[in-house]
């Protein structure tokens, strides 16, 4: 049910989520079948790449015909476990945490934010959207009941490592980390990092070579 044999490259997993996004669109547009060449046209991802990515998980298409959109969509969703509820804990009820709770994309993909924690007593007990903000100290106790395995870390950098340890102690083994540091976690825990500054820094680097567009911009 998982990757047939060995391990799946990380970039493949990342692309899988992209394919899914496009397949959901195509389903809405009542498109029944697509070929890998059409996927390349839509997404810009090489057709061979697409077929190779799928090959880690089995056979999905018919030679000479292509892929059934609905079937492929549902099989990719299944591979990524997006066909079942995933309970998620959020730590950090600041601006970012608030934006995440309000982000509809999570619910759409069946990620269910089941609790929000903070250590700031002026926030504890208040509501973030429809969720009451809980005392960070209750993390383990609360998750003994909720049994979420995913956690989102939206706290300041200085707090991140210790909160991560708290999450792990509470049974979380997948962490989405927004704090700009490399977390130390036990080997069974998977961490994904999102760093706005890193992303902007990479963009900033690339500005160097480009000519300032304004100078060229005569028309308009």
Partner DNA sequence: TAGATTGTTAATCGATTAACAATC
* Cβ atoms of 34 and 62 closer than 8 Å: no
CA-CA distance, 100 to 90, in Å (whole number)? 9
What's the closest the beta carbon of residue 66 comes to a second copy, in angstroms? 20
Residues 1-20 that bind DNA (CB under 7 A): 9-12
In the complex with a second copy, the residue whose CB is nearer, 122 or 208, is 208
Residues 24-83 that bind DNA (CB under 7 A): 34-37, 46-49, 51-52, 54-55, 59-67
In the complex with a second copy, the residue whose CB is nearer, 95 or 122, is 95
Query: What does DSSP assign to residue 4?
Result: S
Q: What does 107 bind: a second copy, DNA, none (CB cut-off 5 to 8 Å by kind)?
A: none
In the complex with a second copy, the residue whose CB is nearer, 16 or 26, is 16
In the complex with a second copy, the residue whose CB is nearer, 163 or 176, is 176
Tokens of residue 110, six digits? 């069946």
Q: What does 79 bind: DNA, a second copy, none (CB cut-off 5 to 8 Å by kind)?
A: a second copy
Contacts for 211 with CB less than 8 Å, ≥ 6 apart:
none
Q: What does 48 bind: DNA, a second copy, none (CB cut-off 5 to 8 Å by kind)?
A: DNA
- Report helix, strand or coil for 185: coil
In the complex with DNA, the residue whose CB is nearer, 26 or 170, is 26
Element (H, E) at 96: helix 95-101
In the complex with DNA, the residue whose CB is nearer, 12 or 161, is 12
What's the closest the beta carbon of residue 3 comes to a second copy, in angstroms? 9
What's the closest the beta carbon of residue 62 comes to a second copy, in angstroms? 26
Contacts for 102 with CB less than 8 Å, ≥ 6 apart:
129
Q: Which of 164, 158, 184 is nearest to 176 (CA)?
A: 164
Contacts for 31 with CB less than 8 Å, ≥ 6 apart:
69
Element (H, E) at 52: helix 47-55
**CA neighbours within 13 Å on the CB side: how many for 63?**
0
Q: What does 12 bind: a second copy, DNA, none (CB cut-off 5 to 8 Å by kind)?
A: DNA
- Report helix, strand or coil for 83: coil
Q: What does 142 bind: a second copy, DNA, none (CB cut-off 5 to 8 Å by kind)?
A: none
Provide the binding-site residues for DNA, judged by CB under 7 A. 9-12, 34-37, 46-49, 51-52, 54-55, 59-67
């Amino acid at each position: 049910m998982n990757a047939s044999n060995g391990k799946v490259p990380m970039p493949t997993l990342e692309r899988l989520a992209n394919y899914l996004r496009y397949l959901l669109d195509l389903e809405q547009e009542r498109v029944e079948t697509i070929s890998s060449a059409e996927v390349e046209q839509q997404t810009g991802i090489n057709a061979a790449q697409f077929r190779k990515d799928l090959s880690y998980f089995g056979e999905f298409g018919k030679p000479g015909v292509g892929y059934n959109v609905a079937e492929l969509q549902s099989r990719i969703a299944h591979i990524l476990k997006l066909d079942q509820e995933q309970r998620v804990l959020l730590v950090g009820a600041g601006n970012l945490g608030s934006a995440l709770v309000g982000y509809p994309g999570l619910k759409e993909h069946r990620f269910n934010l089941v609790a929000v924690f903070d250590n700031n007593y002026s926030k504890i007990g208040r509501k973030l959207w429809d969720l009451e903000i809980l005392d960070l100290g209750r993390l383990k106790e609360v998750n003994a009941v909720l049994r979420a395995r995913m956690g989102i870390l939206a706290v300041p950098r200085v707090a991140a490592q210790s909160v991560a340890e708290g999450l792990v102690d509470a049974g979380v083994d997948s962490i989405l980390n927004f704090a700009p540091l490399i977390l130390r976690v036990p080997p069974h825990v998977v961490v994904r990092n999102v760093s706005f500054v890193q992303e902007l820094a990479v963009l900033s680097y690339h500005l160097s070579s480009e000519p300032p567009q304004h100078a060229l911009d005569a028309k308009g």
